[in-house]
Chain A
């Protein structure tokens, strides 16, 4: 019998291309301090019984076993501590590990901590490090890197379904402009003291005119590389009710996986995980997943929906923070999450259904395109953002009420690695 698990506190740092002012452990302390002292909670640091620490790359940090340094710096010794790594999904996997530790009864209060400091190397070297998280025998040696892989997938999505560069640009505009109301966001130069100077609001034309990195993806279609940290504190039902009057429950969680080389994935119709509201005949002629869809994301959603009782995701979910590494992958993810049928993700953004005042607000924080992508921290930032949204206090933290989703009761977080090799989905409820 598993126990109910709640998020009771959250904290993030200011995100930036380069936080040269602080080390990784000092950034983790910045986020932990916010979690402990800026949330309305009745607990002290001593109530934390253990930690889960996520960071992506030993290459970026040039420090192995960094979790031990973070644990020490935050004064958590000699409590339990484990490092979680799973590429871009590190944060989501860390949240799931924290969930499992509390649900199983192993611990009552767990701090889930994520960080990354990508500015220690130049951008091209950073892209190379990320590319080393693709197959280094077959895909990396021919010049493969992530924007290239996603460009290939996006072009196939366009070919299969008629998705357009304009629809992708609309995702960039939504996320980037949402970020202008979040003081932590890297692209928000007005509110974030470490923000990028050429950030600010953008229009569809700005995206379409930005230089191609790999056709059809242009500079403004692609996520940020960031320095920063995030912390979410998880607690058992009994503890959560003592710590806060407004716990946010993790009511469902799922994880999926797929082949490291996207080309190795099936292109038949035998392995499509159907969601409760879907009919098999919708996808009769769809080669799946091919390189146009993320089977891992779909499988993670299927598990999480089943556990949380979601059978109409577009109507039941009020707010989502998902892994928009690319504008194209946000559209692909709409379909994996069942917000639209496969092939109709582009229409969802075109109709404005994922805007803050749309049917379901997607990435009100700005996501990876507008807010941050400090890899190990990203999935935890998403949990913290949806936690604040469901508490109705995002505005207090963001410094603006503009992207608070009114009356939000149910939210979802989606954390994604590689070309869809690990994906986690969790459903949160106030």
Chain B
């Protein structure tokens, strides 16, 4: 039976579910290394740029990059408290997102900050990336925690 929400105008319920078989392609080693406790970025030796999130190909010269391990230590560049979210993450609010500057990395990483003392968060605060004990093979397998 089609669910009907209204008759003037006629409004009915449509549903559409999709399963994707999503490949991480050449960045797959990032996730494989998480299971060994390592956080890997990619580096273009030609341009002297290190990318996190990793890019298999350098956007500046299009040469292939190399994997390098990073310390995961860094600082908050900017952060914010999420009081609302897309449907999938509404269950998590409030939560904290930040762009972090990482040691040895040229890009900023967008990540969650997990902390019991959110009132102490500030721009410039030292952080360290953590790796989930049980991997979901998603970007949410890493997050930042205050490190001071």
Indicate if the CB atoms of B24 and A128 lie closer than 8 Å: no
Given the complex of chains A and B, what is the CA–CA distance between A21 and B80 in angstroms?
Answer: 39
Hey, which chain B residues are within 8 Å of A141, CB to CB? 138-140
Indicate if the CB atoms of B87 and A159 lie closer than 8 Å: no
Q: A281 → chain B, closest Cβ, in Å?
A: 25
* Given known A-B contacts A152-B78, A264-B51, A142 and B85 have beta carbons under 8 A apart: no
Q: Does A282 belong to the interface (CB within 8 Å)? A: no
* Given known A-B contacts A20-B11, A138-B53, A143 and B97 have beta carbons under 8 A apart: yes
* Given known A-B contacts A62-B14, A143-B112, A263-B107, A148 and B80 have beta carbons under 8 A apart: yes
Q: Does A214 belong to the interface (CB within 8 Å)? A: yes
Interface residues of A in 242-295 (CB under 8 A from B): 259, 261-264, 267, 291
Given the complex of chains A and B, what is the CA–CA distance between A262 and B53 in angstroms?
Answer: 12
* Given known A-B contacts A142-B111, A213-B84, A215-B81, A62 and B16 have beta carbons under 8 A apart: yes
Hey, which chain B residues are within 8 Å of A214, CB to CB? 80-84, 97
Hey, which chain B residues are within 8 Å of A149, CB to CB? 110
Given the complex of chains A and B, what is the CA–CA distance between A216 and B78 in angstroms?
Answer: 12
Interface residues of A in 125-160 (CB under 8 A from B): 125, 127-128, 130-131, 135, 137-145, 147-149, 151-153, 155-156, 159
Q: Does A399 belong to the interface (CB within 8 Å)? A: no
Given the complex of chains A and B, what is the CA–CA distance between A131 and B86 in angstroms?
Answer: 7
Indicate if the CB atoms of A144 and B97 lie closer than 8 Å: yes
With both beta carbons as reference points, the residue of chain A lying nearest to B53 in the complex is identified as A138
A interface residues (Cβ-Cβ under 8 A, vs B): 20-21, 62, 122, 124-125, 127-128, 130-131, 135, 137-145, 147-149, 151-153, 155-156, 159, 211-216, 259, 261-264, 267, 291
| 14 residue pairs bridging A and B, Cβ less than 8 Å apart | A21-B9, A124-B87, A130-B86, A142-B97, A143-B85, A148-B85, A152-B110, A156-B99, A215-B83, A261-B53, A263-B110, A264-B59, A291-B78, A291-B99
List 17 additional contacts besides A137-B53, A155-B79; criterion CB under 8 Å.
A20-B9, A124-B87, A128-B86, A138-B139, A139-B110, A140-B86, A142-B110, A143-B89, A143-B97, A143-B140, A144-B97, A156-B78, A214-B82, A261-B110, A263-B99, A263-B109, A291-B78
B interface residues (Cβ-Cβ under 8 A, vs A): 6, 9, 11, 14, 16, 24, 27, 51, 53, 59, 77-90, 92, 95, 97-99, 107-112, 123, 138-140, 143
